[in-house]
Copies of this chain bind each other. A is one copy, B any other.
């Protein structure tokens, strides 16, 4: 299948690397684009070479924009991996919309468009019989949607809760284990590249809330947005609280939780006490989810929530699903 990749940052590089190492011929990448232009070869790009040139900053781009590629090129799957904008969903939203209108399959790691316009995008996909997949938006390499689709097929999902932000989990884990205050650990996380220079998006729970919105709409058929999430971040978690928790064999984790509750619904991000022996009490940058089901009972899945190759792995699983449906 012909693949066009829109976005050539960390995730885009990961996708190219992973695809370049595959020996089969399932996928042929015909275009990679970034904000400076597009690299196009309808017979298939030499991915290792493109990666090398990108890293050496001597990539020769054709004078075409990402949107030119999305609207004009012949491809089967659009892999949309531009950065998340939680407010507008752009530029990814426009790319995904145009591709779906053309009846192309779309795989994305971009939380913005899925959280903002899930219903509309699914409508477009259904209309043109295309698949719109977004495994990489929640939990990185940790399987969520693909786990619920087939392995838990036949199960009614009754609730999902978990740790969906590695940065927050790293900070809380370090505070608890080393007895260090929030500000100090946050500085350390910034130095290590685990937290962004402006960490608001992570530490105030916005990233977790976006993922909950995606789960709410995609798994539970809700029609909610970021404003519907009851949200508290971790910046107010004190060392004292973590110590008290520790004395009771508990830890404090930033937990996102979503489930229908009759006419009401629960859609909540907040620091919560979790027993140390509970499977959700994972450490460091790990993500963890508890999927409560009607037949299979409680299923926990734990994995790396971020990382270029890990996210690419989730994208690849979506691409392979599309290939398996042909």
**Which residue from B276, B300, B307 sits with its C-beta under 8 Å from A303?**
B300
A94, B150: Cα distance in complex, Å: 29
A146 / chain B contacts, CB cutoff of 8 Å:
150-151
A199 within 8 A of B: no
A314 / chain B contacts, CB cutoff of 8 Å:
296
Q: Does the CB pair A141–B295 fall under 8 Å?
A: yes
Minimum CB–CB distance from A82 to chain B (whole Å) comes to 21
A276 / chain B contacts, CB cutoff of 8 Å:
276-277
Count of chain A residues with a beta carbon within 8 Å of a chain B beta carbon: 46
A204 within 8 A of B: no
Q: Does the CB pair A297–B310 fall under 8 Å?
A: yes
A297 / chain B contacts, CB cutoff of 8 Å:
141, 303-304, 307, 310
A180 / chain B contacts, CB cutoff of 8 Å:
none
Q: Does the CB pair A153–B300 fall under 8 Å?
A: no
Copies in the complex: 2
Stretch at the interface among A52-60, A185-193, A278-286: A278-286
A20, B267: Cα distance in complex, Å: 33
Fill in one digit per residue for A217-257: 1 if any B CB lies within 8 Å of its CB, else 0: 00000000000000000000000000000000000000000
Q: Which residues of A contact B (CB under 8 A)?
A: 18, 22, 135, 141-143, 146-147, 149-155, 276-277, 279, 281-283, 286, 288, 293, 295-304, 307, 309-310, 312-314, 316-317, 319-321, 324
12 A-B pairs within 8 Å (CB atoms) are namely: A135-B151, A142-B299, A150-B320, A151-B151, A151-B317, A153-B321, A154-B320, A296-B314, A297-B303, A297-B307, A300-B302, A301-B301
